[in-house]
Every structure is written in C-alpha cells, then in structure tokens.
Amino acid sequence: MFDSESPGASHLSDDTTGNIDAVQRCPRHQPDHFIIILRIHTFDAFSACEFSQTRMNIVVDNGNTSTKVGIFDGDNLVDHRVFHSLAEVKDLLEATEADNILVGSVRHDPAEILSFSTATRKFVLDHRLPLPIQNHYKTPETLGVDRVAGVCGGLQLFPGFNTLVIDAGTCVTYDLIDAERNYRGGAISPGLRMRFRAVHEFTARLPLVGVPDTISLWGDTTETSIQSGVCYGMIAEMEGIISAHQQEFGNLKTVLTGGDAPTFENRLKASIFASPNLVLIGLNSILNYNVKR
C-alpha cells in the first residue's frame, strides 16, 4: 500500500519564500529526523492585513480549473485564496488596495482581470514581459505562463541550484532551470484525472474511478487495478524523470507543486520539496523584477 509516512517530501512555507516551516524528512535510506518550526498567521480578509512599508503586491494565477490570488508584502506571501468563478475574483480585487498587480492566465483574458484592480502598476505575464531568467524555449509564445512562473518560483526558493519543478495539475509538467538561471525547457504528460478519464473513455467497459486514500500495489478488483496502474505509473514516471535529471545535472533540487501534489509528495523515494504556492511565489518574483526595472 501507499504509506502516508513514506519519507521524501519536505514542505516549504506557505507564507515566506525563504524558510522551511513544516516538516523536513530525510530520504528513505536514512533514519527519520524532523525539524519543526511552527508559525501561525490569521487573516480574515486581505484588507485586514497589516503591512510594513514595503510594496504590496497582488498576483493572480488564472488556471484551467481555478484561480489563485496571492497577496505579498514585499517577498512574503501573507495570504492567498482559491476561487472558482471570475465574479469572486472581481469582488476581491475591487475591494483590495495594492501597489502592483500581475496576472498570469491560461483561461480568461488577463486584461479583463487587470481591469478589476486599482493597483498603480499593472502587468500581464506573456512572452513579451521581461523575466528574471534566460528563456531558451524555442517557441516562447506557446510556453504556458504557469510553467514560466513555476521555474521562477523554483529560482526564488533555490537560487544557485539546478532545480527541477514538477507541477502536478491538469497535466503534469517538468521544467528545469539551471544554476545560471537558464530555463532549459521541460516535458508535459497527462495529469492524474486525465489518465483515469482516458482509461474509461477509450475503452468499452472499464469504469471511471478516482483516487482513494490507500492503493494496493496489486489491485484485486477492476477498479483497484486501474487505481494501482494509474497512480504507480505516475510515481514511476516522476521518479524516472527525477533520476534522469539527477544524472544530467548535479546538485539538483526538486520542487513539487500543483493540485495533485499531495497525492504524491510522501510517496516518492526521491528527496523533494513540496511547495503548494510555488506559482504564486514565481509570479511575485516576476512582478518585483519588472517593478524594479
């Protein structure tokens, strides 16, 4: 069975870009050691936050299935929300004062989202916006803004390291930024739910199933066999790609993010860092880079 206590994942703080707040666990072949630092922040609304004299930023990640909004005091993420309708995003942005805003969107018109905000400086993340990295992608106009933000988030967390960013969302993306800030490119494969749907939709009789809390290595029903094959297949894919990058690039950091990251973060043998707000952190680093220009 999958073991929820399997080592390998370290959790990066949700509220800052430079500290590890939750539990860091050593790789599987080492004894378990834990470093726990607990911090509690409570915010009833963005407008209720108290900020220092640093600039206040809002970043919007308008993805395929939801929209994340993050508010930063300088480099520190002090609050974030997830929305499933543009009307909710509009209400929040209209009610929140900010100095700067950046929108990265793969779904709605980013200009429309920007129009909801009264921020002084407004930016849209597209292939024309200057970045704090060297982009070697041959078709930058087709590169997803979530992938760009992810590697910039990886750079923000681990400057000076070769960093592999795995975003387990609608699709699973793998992106590499090297220690010299060069974005090398990456890979795209079907996401978890897409794989379950493919098994169902491209066969005559196999059912559509979801992900249970525990999955046996060998399924003893058709449903559990599908769950085992899909989930262990994704684990093998992730571990294989991590291993290939470790062989190619020394001193590698691996960061896991995305909606399905919790399914895998404690089930990989490789040492990884789990950062649920990596894309927001990356968007904020891009925003700060452009504000300072």
Domain positions in the chain are 9-39+54-194+224-292
Q: What is the pTM of this model?
A: 0.83
Query: Is-catalytic flag, 109?
Result: no
Matching residue, tokens 């960013």: 165
Q: Which residues contact 278 (CB under 8 A, 6 or more apart)?
A: 12, 149, 150, 153, 154, 157, 165, 167, 255, 257
Residue 104, classed as helix, strand or coil, is strand
* Cα distance between the two ends of the chain: 52
Burial of 256 (0-12, 13-18, 19+ CB in 10 A): buried
d(CA 138, CA 135): 9
pLDDT tens per residue, range 90-130: 999 999 999 999 999 988 899 999 999 999 999 999 999 99
CATH of 9-39+54-194+224-292, one of 3.30.420.40, 3.40.1050.10, 3.40.50.720, 3.40.640.10: 3.30.420.40
Instruction: Say how many CA atoms lie within 13 Å of 251 toward its Cβ.
Output: 9
Q: Cα 97 from chain centroid?
A: 26
Per-residue pLDDT tens over the stretch 240-288: 999 999 999 988 999 999 999 999 999 999 999 999 999 999 999 999 9
Q: Which of 15, 146, 167, 260 is catalytic?
A: 146
Which helix (DSSP H) or strand (DSSP E) does residue 166 occupy? strand 162-168
CA dist 169 → 11, 27, 66, 128, 173 (Å): 18, 24, 11, 25, 8
Statement: residue 48 has pLDDT above 50: no
Residue the block writes with tokens 């969302």: 169
pLDDT of residue 216: 87
Lowest mean pLDDT among 213-222, 232-241, 256-265: 213-222
- pLDDT digit string, tens, across residues 9-38: 665 544 444 333 333 333 433 333 333 233
Out of 50-64, 118-132, 141-155, least confident range: 50-64
pLDDT (average), residues 152-181 = 97
